[in-house]
């Protein structure tokens, strides 16, 4: 049987803080084993959890139309949009 991991070791493996690992364990975000008051994680269970929660990038041809870091083009203000809708006759409103 493999040695069970404590939360500090899990935090190190996942690259998160020990506090975050403790919160996730208390919310059962990953599989835990309770040994009295101690919380431990089986290495195989952690590996399976990581595999299940790894997102495949660009799956199904789902591509981001903008490169990362590029902001969306600015659109007009809400008032400009209302004016345009009013002029098209789509809505009536006070001015």
What architecture (CATH level 2) is domain 1-54?
A: Orthogonal Bundle (1.10)
How much is the pLDDT for 15?
92
What ranges do the domains of the chain cover? 1-54
How much is the pLDDT for 24?
92
Q: In angstroms, rounded to a whole number, what is the distance separating the alpha carbons of residues 65 and 20? A: 33
Query: Does residue 91 register a pLDDT over 70?
Result: no
pLDDT tens, position by position, 47-73? 999 988 887 765 555 555 656 666 665
Mean pLDDT over each residue of the chain, to the nearest integer: 80
Which token pair is 80? 């400009």
How much is the pLDDT for 33?
92
Q: Cβ distance 82 to 93 under 8 Å?
A: yes
How much is the pLDDT for 8?
94
Closest CA to 42 of 80, 90, 5: 5
Q: What is the pTM of this model?
A: 0.56
Which token pair is 88? 């098209």
């Amino acid at each position: 049987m493999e040695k069970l991991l404590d939360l500090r070791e899990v935090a190190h493996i996942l690259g998160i803080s020990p506090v975050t690992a403790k919160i996730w364990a208390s919310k059962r975000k990953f599989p835990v084993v309770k040994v009295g008051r101690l919380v431990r994680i089986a290495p195989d269970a952690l590996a399976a959890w990581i595999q299940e929660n790894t997102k495949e990038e660009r799956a199904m041809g789902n591509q981001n139309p903008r490169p990362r870091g590029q902001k969306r083009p600015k659109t007009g203000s809400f008032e400009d949009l209302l004016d345009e809708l009013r002029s098209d006759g789509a809505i009536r409103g006070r001015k």
